[in-house]
Amino acid sequence: NAGVTQTPKFQVLKTGQSMTLQCAQDMNHEYMSWYRQDPGMGLRLIHYSVGAGITDQGEVPNGYNVSRSTTEDFPLRLLSAAPSQTSVYFCASSTEGQVEAFFGQGTRLTVV
Amino acid sequence: RKEVEQDPGPFNVPEGATVAFNCTYSNSASQSFFWYRQDCRKEPKLLMSVYSSGNEDGRFTAQLNRASQYISLLIRDSKLSDSATYLCVVNRPGNTPLVFGKGTRLSVIA
């Protein structure tokens, strides 16, 4: 089972560039979320979705956009990369009721 | 007060030791509680759910005290392979994602 797949695993961007982090799940989960993880800060919620066509902001949404056109995919777009967005990004999915969240392997992003 | 608070550690313990982690949560309406494990440079994975009556899975025991809004994880007979960061996780009522604590780092030393 693939579970939650994130691409790319590593990325280096220049300040001001834009890019999309891809996230796909094959478990038919309604809930999907994006987190960033920085040293000493833990996992911080960027955006989340409770179903296709529905998205909402988390704790740190500025500088990021999301969309959810299908149940399977939940891409995260960086509009104009900044060094402060250097982080490890995790995508997660879960069933309604959120008994367990399944995470992708993460994307290590460096903005120079 | 943060929604989920944990002692960040690190806890450095010898093999075979018993170690306990604590976590407090602020939302009294939370209904579901979990411990996740995260290895270095890897994604978090569910270790165990925490039930009101307490639950055990091998060397791991989780306890919940709703009155004090407190969750604990006890690891007995620590192994080198237990070295990881342990995340306390709580749900919020309604359609919102799980809330993760910052994690407690454990190093088991030979």
Contact A42 B101 (CB under 8 A): yes
Residue A27 — pLDDT band, cuts 50, 70, 90? very high
Torsion over CA: A21, A15, A55, B38 (sign): positive
Chain B residues in contact with A97 by the CB 8 A cut-off are 32
Task: Judge whether B12 and B109 are in contact, CB under 8 Å.
Answer: yes
Q: B34 at the A interface (CB within 8 A)? A: yes
Q: pLDDT by residue (tens digit) across A29-65? A: 999 999 999 988 889 999 999 999 999 999 999 999 9
Chain A interface residues (partner B, CB cutoff 8 A): 31, 33, 35, 40-43, 45, 48, 50, 58, 90, 92, 94, 97-101, 103-106
Helix, strand, coil percent values for chain A (each to nearest 5)? 5, 55, 45
Residue of B7, B1, B3 whose CA lies nearest to B98: B3
What is the mean pLDDT for each group of 10 consecutive residues in chain B (110 residues)?
88 97 93 94 94 91 94 97 96 85 96
Q: B5 at the A interface (CB within 8 A)? A: no
Whole-angstrom Cα distance, residue B49 to residue B99?
14
